[in-house]
């Protein structure tokens, strides 16, 4: 990587060669950092700051200080962000205008005529990101047969003049059938960039050249709405990183791949699930080290829980995702997210039922037990009252906990419920568990997978504390708690590959064949090379459906290209998904997809070397002590261990295993032990 100006950098400590890998993940509650190098892993966790770039650099400085090295030693800096997600959910994006084909300016408002809540007689649809007065119509028309009405220079000038009067920060351009013929969008985009300097222009033919106009328009509008916000944030991070002497960060995308900051800052929509995607990459990395191919990943943090199903060593991507009720039809890790975390606030609803979340106490003030002024009882307070947590988070004192404050908040809730403190605390935990079990069933049972055939991989600061109970509810007998589980998403920042995805609508050309596929993929490969992905390996896929169907299935395309071969693959996928197939029916080719991946194998190798330590070489010590914890309706004397002191022994529950960024609860009937790569296992006995 190119050398950067190190004015204001951290003081050097004698290490000059770039040999360390840095990953920083910003979550809703905490910002996590990992530093890998010299065969070791260094970790840090700090509360997330309002200015995320400030918190990122603070976490980086702290982890570098713990390692005793300076910024010049960092070879790679990977970063995951929540800026795009937060801006969309909080409706704090840029002032955005839109241009559509005449007669179609209200596509964003009309949307699809589906009803997520079937029996809601008065559904409230979210207002569009682009209000009606900001939506313009261009007199032009392209059809599948070609141009019907040209886009004249005079018309483009009129649109540009009207946009100037509206004073937008960003413009989304989505013209009909631009995925087949982008010439009108390209001409208008070129003029707008000239006439509206400093205004971000998103063209649907560049963001998502794929049919289905509402999803294409929605994705383009989301990109335009968020890009100015994300760009400002990343520019600030770039400046702070340069000042600290760090390399330019690589930014994690929703597809699990990374991009250089200067590329990521120009297109925000692919960054919407940056952090959760990094968690999946971290789980894949940890699973590969322990030779586990089939996992259900559970990432429970302070604000939310993300769950993902991993089969045969890979996670699925989806482009049928709504974020904040807005369709984003880009490849995104198939992550199901719920508002259940350690900071989820417990309350009694109008009907007298106990609820936990989705509202979160965050990091400041945080749960009542943090002592920062929070008064609401949370899941963390419940775990402290039940004895699963001690006097600090993770046992190293980085967040001191106050049991009397947790008990006070829980007593107020218990009085409202007319029950005892232990019963109320257990109820809060069980309500949160029920929400997580429901999410785990969504990605497994509801999709035809038997969870008993999978390992539950639990990570995040709170995941290992709930994992055994969740596994027992689903009939899962083994739980994997990866090394560095409390900061595994940050670990994913240095384990991911560089990746770009492209899609192209083919719309079933008459008599499609292997040649059709070959020509389509060649076009996408040329686009990939022009985008700087030379030397990439390719993953080729196609969207297929039976004639008359309205939705497609995505299948892998093998070589040599063959219609008969691909149709057979589709029929098998259809049978797996729906339980039947139509042998001999016409199969339509709708879209072709290309993922270009530049493997960062040397980084992954360094990451693996940093966590690969033989069990025999680990220190084995005694437990820290004992404290009472509440299991199965009674208080039991429970051993408290530091993770690094467990060594090669097998620990029977009840036990609590603490580490700097997470806590693992081993209930009665379970046992804990390490494998050769320092991943911790819980096993039902």
The confidence score (pLDDT) of residue 585 equals 87
The confidence score (pLDDT) of residue 2 equals 30
Q: How many residues does the chain have?
A: 685
Q: Are 467 and 479 a contacting pair, CB within 8 Å?
A: yes
d(CA 303, CA 27): 8
Domains of the chain: 498-598 (3.30.1490), 620-684 (no CATH)
Q: Which residues contact 539 (CB under 8 A, 6 or more apart)?
A: 556, 594, 595, 597
DSSP β-ladder status, 537-546 and 587-598: antiparallel
The confidence score (pLDDT) of residue 587 equals 92
Sole residue written with tokens 């059938």: 177
Q: Could you say which DSSP state residue 447 is in? A: G
Q: Are 285 and 625 a contacting pair, CB within 8 Å?
A: no
CA angle 206, 207, 208 (to 5 degrees): 100
The confidence score (pLDDT) of residue 399 equals 75
Q: How many CA atoms lie within 13 A of 163 on its CB side?
A: 34
Provide the angle, in degrees to the nearest 10, between the axes of the packed helices 421-443 and 463-474. Answer: 70
d(CA 230, CA 28): 16
Q: Are 34 and 506 a contacting pair, CB within 8 Å?
A: no
The confidence score (pLDDT) of residue 114 equals 76
Sole residue written with tokens 């059709």: 516
Strand runs labelled E in 198-335:
200-203, 250-252, 258-260, 295-300, 305-311, 314-315, 317-318, 321-323, 326-328, 332-333
DSSP β-ladder status, 321-323 and 141-143: unpaired
d(CA 254, CA 270): 6
The confidence score (pLDDT) of residue 406 equals 93
Bridge partners, residue 56, by sequence: none
Question: Closest Cα to residue 129, out of 164, 105, 93, 99?
Answer: 93
Q: Is the pTM of this model over 0.85?
A: yes
CA angle 235, 489, 311 (to 5 degrees): 125
Q: Give me the average pLDDT of each 10-residue run along the chain (685 residues).
A: 29 52 88 88 87 92 92 92 86 95 93 78 84 95 92 96 96 95 96 96 95 94 96 94 94 91 91 91 91 94 90 88 87 90 90 87 85 92 94 63 93 93 94 95 91 95 94 96 91 88 83 92 93 88 91 92 93 88 89 91 71 53 89 93 87 91 94 91 94
* Three state DSSP letters for 178-209: CCCCCHHHHHHHHHHHHHCCCCEEEEHHHHCC
d(CA 594, CA 542): 9
The confidence score (pLDDT) of residue 678 equals 85
- Could you tell me the end-to-end alpha-carbon distance of the chain, in angstroms, rounded to an integer? 50
- Say whether 662 sits in a helix, a strand or coil: coil
- Say whether 6 sits in a helix, a strand or coil: coil
- Say whether 113 sits in a helix, a strand or coil: coil
Q: Are 335 and 280 a contacting pair, CB within 8 Å?
A: yes
What does each C-alpha distance from 179 to 218, 505, 506, 594 come to in angstroms?
15, 7, 10, 16
Sole residue written with tokens 């649907």: 204
CA-based max dimension of the chain: 81
- Say whether 21 sits in a helix, a strand or coil: strand
Q: What are the backbone angles phi and psi of residue 221, rounded to the nearest 5°? A: -65, -40
The confidence score (pLDDT) of residue 394 equals 55
d(CA 99, CA 174): 6
CA angle 150, 154, 158 (to 5 degrees): 110
Q: Are 676 and 615 a contacting pair, CB within 8 Å?
A: yes
- Say whether 518 sits in a helix, a strand or coil: helix
The torsion region of residue 475 among left (phi > 0), alpha (psi -120 to 50) and beta comes to: left
The confidence score (pLDDT) of residue 147 equals 92
Element containing residue 66 per DSSP (H, E): helix 52-67
257-262 long-range contacts (CB < 8 A, ≥24 apart) are 257/496, 257/497, 257/498, 257/499, 257/500, 257/597, 258/78, 258/493, 258/496, 258/497, 258/498, 258/499, 258/600, 259/498, 259/499, 259/500, 261/79, 261/234, 261/237, 262/238
CB atoms within 10 A of CB 312: 6
The confidence score (pLDDT) of residue 475 equals 95
Q: Are 279 and 305 a contacting pair, CB within 8 Å?
A: no
d(CA 346, CA 426): 12
The confidence score (pLDDT) of residue 227 equals 96
What does each C-alpha distance from 318 to 30, 335, 524, 553, 597 come to in angstroms?
27, 9, 19, 11, 17
d(CA 97, CA 93): 12
Question: Closest Cα to residue 126, out of 281, 266, 323, 289?
Answer: 323
Q: Could you say which DSSP state residue 298 is in? A: E
DSSP secondary structure, 311-330, as one string: ETTEE-EES-EEETTEEE-S
The torsion region of residue 309 among left (phi > 0), alpha (psi -120 to 50) and beta comes to: beta
The confidence score (pLDDT) of residue 618 equals 57
The confidence score (pLDDT) of residue 619 equals 65
- Say whether 625 sits in a helix, a strand or coil: strand
């Amino acid at each position: 990587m190119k050398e950067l100006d190190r004015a204001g950098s951290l003081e050097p400590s004698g290490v000059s060669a770039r040999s360390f890998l840095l990953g920083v993940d910003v979550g809703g509650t905490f910002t996590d950092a990992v530093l890998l190098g010299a065969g070791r892993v260094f970790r840090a966790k700090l509360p997330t700051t309002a200015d995320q770039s400030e918190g990122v650099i603070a976490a980086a400085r702290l982890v570098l200080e713990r390692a005793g090295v300076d910024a010049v030693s960092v070879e790679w800096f990977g970063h995951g962000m929540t800026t795009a997600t937060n801006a969309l959910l909080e409706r704090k994006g840029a002032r955005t205008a839109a241009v559509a084909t005449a007669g179609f300016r209200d596509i964003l408002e009309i949307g699809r005529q589906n009803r997520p809540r079937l029996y809601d007689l008065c559904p409230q649809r979210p207002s569009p990101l682009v209000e009606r007065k900001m939506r313009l119509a261009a007199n032009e028309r392209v059809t599948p047969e070609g141009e019907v009405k040209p886009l004249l220079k005079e018309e483009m000038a009129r649109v540009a003049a009207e946009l100037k009067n509206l004073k937008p920060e960003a413009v989304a351009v989505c013209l009909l059938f631009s995925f087949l013929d982008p010439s009108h969008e390209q001409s208008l985009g070129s003029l707008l960039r000239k006439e509206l300097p400093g205004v971000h222009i998103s063209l649907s033919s560049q963001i998502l050249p794929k049919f289905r106009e509402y999803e294409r328009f929605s994705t383009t509008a989301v990109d335009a709405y968020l890009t100015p916000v994300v760009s400002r944030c990343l520019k600030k991070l770039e400046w702070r990183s340069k000042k600290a002497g760090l390399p330019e960060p690589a930014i994690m995308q929703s597809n699990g791949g990374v991009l250089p900051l200067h590329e990521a800052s120009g297109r925000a929509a692919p960054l919407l699930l940056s952090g959760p995607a990094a968690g999946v990459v971290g789980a894949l990395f940890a699973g590969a080290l322990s030779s586990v191919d089939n996992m259900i990943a559970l990432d429970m943090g302070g604000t939310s829980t993300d769950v993902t199903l991993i089969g045969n060593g890979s996670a699925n991507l989806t482009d049928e995702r709504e974020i904040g009720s807005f369709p984003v039809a880009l490849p995104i890790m198939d992550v199901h997210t719920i508002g259940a975390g350690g900071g989820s606030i417990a309350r009694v609803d109008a009907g007298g039922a106990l609820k936990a979340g989705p509202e979160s106490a965050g990091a400041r003030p945080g749960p009542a037990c943090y002592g920062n002024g929070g008064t609401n009882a949370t899941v963390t307070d419940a775990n402290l009252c039940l004895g699963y947590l001690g006097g600090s988070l993770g046992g190293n004192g980085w967040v001191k906990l106050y049991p009397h404050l947790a008990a006070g908040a829980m007593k107020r809730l218990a009085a409202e419920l007319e029950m005892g403190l232990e019963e109320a605390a257990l109820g809060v935990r069980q309500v949160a568990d029920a929400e997580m079990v429901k999410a785990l069933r969504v990605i497994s049972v509801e999709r035809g997978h038997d969870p008993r055939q999978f390992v539950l991989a639990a990570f995040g600061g709170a995941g290992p504390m709930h994992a055994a109970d969740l596994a027992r509810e689903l009939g899962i007998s083994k739980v994997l708690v990866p090394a560095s589980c409390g900061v595994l998403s940050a670990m994913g920042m240095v384990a991911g590959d560089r990746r770009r995805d492209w899609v192209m609508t083919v719309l079933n050309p008459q008599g499609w064949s292997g040649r059709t596929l070959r020509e389509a993929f060649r076009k996408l490969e040329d686009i990939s090379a022009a985008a700087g992905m030379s030397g990439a390996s390719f993953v080729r896929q196609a969207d297929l459906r039976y004639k008359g169907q309205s939705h497609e299935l995505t299948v892998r395309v093998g070589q040599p290209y063959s219609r008969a071969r691909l149709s057979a693959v589709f029929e098998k996928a259809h049978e797996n998904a729906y339980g039947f197939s139509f042998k001999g029916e016409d199969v339509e080719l709708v879209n072709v997809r290309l993922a270009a991946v530049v493997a960062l194998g040397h980084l992954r190798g360094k990451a693996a070397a940093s966590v690969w330590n033989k069990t025999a070489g680990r220190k084995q010590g005694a437990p820290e002590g004992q404290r009472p914890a509440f299991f199965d309706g009674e208080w039991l004397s429970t051993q408290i261990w530091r993770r690094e002191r467990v060594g090669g022994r097998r620990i029977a529950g009840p036990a609590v295993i603490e580490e700097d960024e997470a806590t693992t609860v081993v209930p009665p009937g379970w046992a804990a032990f390490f494998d050769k790569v320092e991943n911790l296992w819980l096993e039902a006995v």
